[in-house]
A and B are shown apart, each in its own frame.
Chain A
Amino acid sequence: MTLATLKRSDAVPPNETIVRVLRDDLTLDPENDPKLGNDEVLHLYRHMVMTRQLDERLVALQRQGRIGFHVGSLGEEGAILGSAYAMRKGDFLFPCYREFGAALMRGLELQVFVHNMFGNAKDTVLGRQMPDHYTCRRVGWGSISSPVGTQITQAVGFAWGAKIQKKDVATLAYFGDGATSSSDFHSGMNFAGVFKLPTVFFCRNNGWAISVPVERQTASRTFAEKAAAYGIPGVRVDGNDLFAVVATVQKAVERGVRGEGPTLIEAITYRMGGHSTSDDPNRYRGSEMLEPWASRDPIGRVRAYLEKHDLWDGTAEERLIAEVDASFKAAVKVAEHTPPPPLESMFEDVYARPPWHLQEQRQEVLSGPRAPNPHGS
């Protein structure tokens, strides 16, 4: 295989430079085995399945016009959940916008998440942002913005703040291959390298930034090798190998908290769906490009491992999916019957206290005419 094809977005990369643990024969490579207990593997597997099931349901809700938007993680569940699992309690994760499954695993309640998808009065961010832009400080989860890459420097600053106060906190910044072209990627990697900060730069190389393939993001042979320019380690990991992801992120965190600085991890995975519900990937890629990745599905691989060890079977799978569906349905019912945020909430939290001009504008809205279809588009 030539260098040019090494990172083509439709090709599974070869083995040699990539951390892999779960072998094709379903044994674990002892060199990097994170030594997860059976209960841990089951826990992660359940969350991967739940994430995929919720993705499907949320897309359906969007197609029915019941929510406005969803940005999913189909095919990337191993990279997302494995990395979040490796972060310790008290560490902070700075999401891109494709990682709701990780937030749920860290303790964001499904109902709170679903309220956010509906942007209603119980949404913790009061419908101020699009769906999937929730926040949850108490589980170490940042606030999500749509501009690409901006969370990277913030994850660095957060870890830096903790280090200045001599607190043991590591951070993880999620971003995609597209964000490696942003100035925040450069600044974040550079600052964290200079100040040896405990940040894990977790790049989900999923092949695509909306319609733009990785070849258009960089002329570098890999994303991981960019780390060399910042004097930090860069590691490529099979992002569809849950065990390898957990092990790689754990090592990066350990390195960070030892004071040795950040690590760039390139998790090689594939975006099996569109960029978001607003995107039609058939316009720019053929379905044949998905085939090599479908056979390396991160969920299917773990399921095969669990079944081999008699830890899982079809009945358990059916029961889990039924449970997820039931709790999602119940959460949607509650969210759909929850009113929109109150009008005056539009003017709160702009500042700690509304200054005179916002008080005036709030009064103007409250005493003025209502929009003809206030909650439609």
Chain B
Amino acid sequence: MPQMNMVQAINDGLRTAMRDDSRVVILGEDVGRVGGVFRVTAGLFDEFGDDRVIDTPLSENGIVGSAVGMALYGLVPIVEIQFADFIWPAYDQIVNELSKYRYRSGGEYPAKVVIRAPVGGGIRGGHYHSQHPEAAFIHVPGLKVVCPSSAYDAKGLLLASIADPDPVIFFEPKRVYRAAKGDVPSGPYTVALGSAAIVRSGRHVTVLAYGAMLYEALDAAAKASLQGVEAEVIDLRTLWPVDIQTILESVKRTGRLVVVHEAPRTCGFGAELVSLVVERAFYHLEAPPVRVTGFDTPFPYTLEMEYLPLSHRILPALLEAVKH
């Protein structure tokens, strides 16, 4: 089986989808001749031409608005937003248009678009190349939100996202774009949306993580294990609709919950995850749930490693949880 990093896996997924279905088109800034600033669309322009791999003018609002129109016609557009930090000019089209089209038209106009955007920090990108804005999209009815952490999942989740009838925001953790390597089957396969993966089993504390922070959670879990604390690490993979069953089953076994995410804490996805668990498994909890997250500041440039919820901040949370 071929070894690929996440960039290659997503590229392979896009190629697979485009070969399979002529309705699939890609549009975005620099996605054509240059193959994307992260090279995710490399080679697709040559294979599929500029009708299907489209370098657009520099306007996120125009890209997503046009993609919605293409979807209404019947195409399956895949939009690349160069960095998630630049998605906001398109937010109106995503929130008021894309996500509501099926509902507001009584099912007459489903608008199927996949919006890919690299997210996250740790790449010396400052606050305009580092944000992780999933909460602002999870909050919007009608959207599905995905964030893979491995090369295998990235391709499988992308193909599932393209096949899914609903609009999907597909966040790609750019810090591990090249570091996340693994076996990736050639040809089509899917990883089902809405299904989390237990990537490390443990009986003392449940850790929920996704994207690049999954590796920090795993590192912290390995270190905690040396001190006798066995953490169960769950990779959420699909952020919304989240795999509530896997989360609850785990927390009911461990009695403890730590949530990790890069985004600011207040009203972050962690707030929702903790609420869901407290509402549904309160009497199984033996310790207060803990959020290890980015801070409620803009994403800092020089101090980014202090901002991010890296292993050194997750480990104390795991050790603390079991003291209760």
Contact = CB atoms under 8 A, between A and B. Distances in A.
Contacts of B77: 157, 161
A356 B105 contact: no
Interface string B28-62: 00000000000000000000000110001101011
A165 B51 CA distance: 9
B65 A188 contact: yes
Contact of A154 (B25, B57, B69, B241): B69
Interface in B71-106: 71-75, 77, 89, 92-93, 96-97, 100-106
A137 interface: yes
Enumerate the 7 nearest inter-chain pairs by beta-carbon distance, A residue then B residue, closest first. Answer: A157-B69, A153-B65, A187-B62, A161-B73, A157-B66, A352-B165, A355-B241
B222 interface: no
A187 B70 contact: no
21 contacts: A124-B106, A137-B105, A137-B108, A142-B109, A143-B104, A145-B96, A145-B104, A153-B61, A153-B64, A153-B65, A153-B69, A154-B97, A156-B65, A157-B68, A157-B77, A161-B77, A187-B57, A188-B62, A190-B62, A191-B59, A350-B141
Contacts of B70: 157-158, 160-161, 164
Interface in B234-282: 241, 244
B145 to A, nearest CB: 12
Nearest to B103: A349
Contact of A156 (B25, B66, B93, B110): B66
Contact of B108 (A124, A161, A348): A124
Interface in A44-89: none
Nearest to A183: B61
Interface in A276-329: none
B93 A153 contact: yes
B104 A165 contact: no
Given A157-B66, A191-B62, A183 B89 contact: yes
B51 A164 contact: yes
Contact of A128 (B22, B96, B103): B103
Interface residues of B, number: 48
Given A145-B97, A150-B93, A190 B57 contact: yes
Contacts of B194: 355
Interface string A160-199: 1110110001010000000000011011101100100000
B104 A128 contact: yes
Contacts of A125: 104-106
A350 B69 contact: no
B66 to A, nearest CB: 4
Nearest to A152: B65
A143 B144 CA distance: 22
B228 interface: no
The listed residue with most A CB atoms (<10 A of its CB), out of B22, B56, B96, B97, is B97
Interface residues of A, number: 46
A344 to B, nearest CB: 14
Contact of B72 (A128, A129, A154, A349): A154
The listed residue with most A CB atoms (<10 A of its CB), out of B25, B67, B104, is B104
Contact of A161 (B57, B74, B103, B244): B74
Nearest to B164: A352
Contacts of B105: 124-125, 135, 137, 143
Contacts of A135: 104-106, 108-109
A356 B57 contact: no
B109 to A, nearest CB: 5
Nearest to B107: A349
B126 interface: no
B202 interface: no
